[in-house]
Amino acid sequence: MIRKVVALITFGCLWPGLAAAQQVQVPVPVPFQAPATDTTTQTAGPPPVALEDLVREALQKNPAIHSALHTVETQRRRVPQAKALPDPMVGIGWAGNITPFSVQPGDPSSYRAVTASQQLLYPGKLKLRGEIASKETDAASSDYEAIRRRVTADVKTAYFEYWFYDKALQTTLKDKDLLTKLSQIAETRYRVGKGVQQDVLRSQVEISLLLQRLTVLQQQRNTSQARLNTLLARSPEAPLPPAANIERSPLNYSLDDLYRLARQNDPGLHREEQMIERNQFAVNLAQKDYYPDLSVGFMYQQRPMLPDMYGMTFTINVPVFYKSKQREEVRQATEERLSAESSRDNRKNELNFELKQQYLAAKASDELLRLFSQGVVPQSSLALESSMSAYQVGTVDFLSVLGNFSTVLNYEIDYYRELANYQSSLARIESMVGVDLTSTVTQSGNQHPPGRE
């Protein structure tokens, strides 16, 4: 359909009356081909970078993921410590002379002694301590998975933004060339007395506005590039190849399906479940602290002129202060379990809201994409074509042509904007449901909204 527009522009440039008067022939641009100055689309430039490659690199290099992994390893090392008995106690002593290990000859009360003792916890305490440490490790593993998914979603969202600004720049540059040709037609008509100077000035203003838009889009593209580099643990100024073209990924799940998947796979919810179990083990351990622990000791003594002596000791702690210690410990552990249960319920509520929010955003963008492809872009293109035809015969003013031209440009950029928003919403849903929803497909050539080709 744009070919028709270009044909009309060419017809206007070669209009016999105008050509005879001024012998002006304006070169016809190739529609929607990026100029050589656009480094994002140069054929000799670097090949596009695939989303999967960036995600893989981020998972390998991102410091937040490394930190979470070390936290998991830290918690894992605590499990055998929690299951181990307290260290045994060994002591030496003597009585008699002040000189170490010396006794008084002939004094039977003088001696040298070696002692050893070991505390034995009440049955079940060590196991519960190990269970608590294991659940804390599981919770740290859930945190690690949540960070991996968050980084993955951030990389995908930044990639889609980077792709959008590439497409917006390409579209604006191509339409700037086309607008330049329209300006040349207006200037030609003005020179031969078929147009007014206002049309020429207005077209130059529109070109200046496009240059302003290009400056803003370039700044935003650089920002999204810096964001991607940061997630990849690169310098913000590191060069980055253009993004590969993407197409809309289908969302084949209902909202109820997403709720179910989130309850099964959300790492935040898993972490809260692990903390509930951990705190229940803590309650059981606090209840066992009402029971005393046993300490077993052995003693060996040497005495002058008397046989060596051996002895055993058995001691227990008596929880006489249970009202202010053990009882409060049980209450504390119970409150921590109740807090974890409330935190789990809150996570469920937040999860449902986040899913609903992203699902509605994805559906809205999907509907807008369908509207753009089936209605808005074709209709606005027809309006531009009609106004161009009318402008050639002088029944429509140049402002109407510019208005229709700007509408087509804005709607094409809006199409890319909604496609990036749609894919970003799917990426956020992915982090909660644990299912790949944003598989991208590399397309050959330039991708345009339906109706612009």
Where helices occur in 232-325 by DSSP H, the ranges are: 255-265, 267-288
Q: What is the pLDDT of residue 225?
A: 95
* Paired sense of beta strands 89-95 and 111-120, if any: antiparallel
Query: Could you tell me if 269 and 344 are in contact, meaning their C-beta atoms sit under 8 angstroms apart?
Result: yes
What radius of gyration do the chain's Cα atoms show?
38
The DSSP code for 184 is H
Please tell me the predicted confidence (pLDDT) of residue 373.
74
372: alpha, beta or left, given left = phi > 0 and alpha = psi -120 to 50? alpha
- DSSP code, position 106: T
Question: Alpha-carbon distance 416 to 412, whole Å?
Answer: 7
Q: pLDDT of 164-209, one tens digit each? A: 999 999 888 887 777 777 777 777 766 776 666 666 677 777 778 8
Among 435, 248, 441, which residue's Cα sits nearest to residue 355?
435
Query: Residue 108: CA atoms inside 13 Å, Cβ hemisphere, count?
Result: 5
Structure tokens at 292: 């005393």
Q: CA–CA separation, 1 vs 380, rounded Å?
A: 11
- pTM across the whole model: 0.79
Tokens read off for 227: 């964001």
CA distances from 223 to 227, 230, 300 (A): 6, 11, 76
pLDDT at 303: 86
Instruction: Give me the half-sphere count of Cα atoms (radius 13 Å) on the Cβ side of residue 174.
Output: 22
pLDDT at 423: 95
Look up residue 252 and give its amino acid: N
Residue 279: closest CA among 225, 339, 221: 339
Q: What distance in Å separates the CA atoms of residue 86 and residue 445, rounded to the nearest whole number?
A: 69
Domain boundaries of the chain, sorted by first residue: 2-433
3 Cβ contact partners less than 8 Å away, ≥ 6 residues apart: 31
Closest CA to 217 of 369, 440, 409: 409
| Domain 2-433 top-level CATH class | mainly alpha
pLDDT below 50 — which residues of the chain?
Answer: 1-43, 440-448, 450-453
Q: What pLDDT shows up at residue 385?
A: 66
What's the N-to-C CA distance of the chain in angstroms?
A: 6
Structure tokens at 229: 């580099």
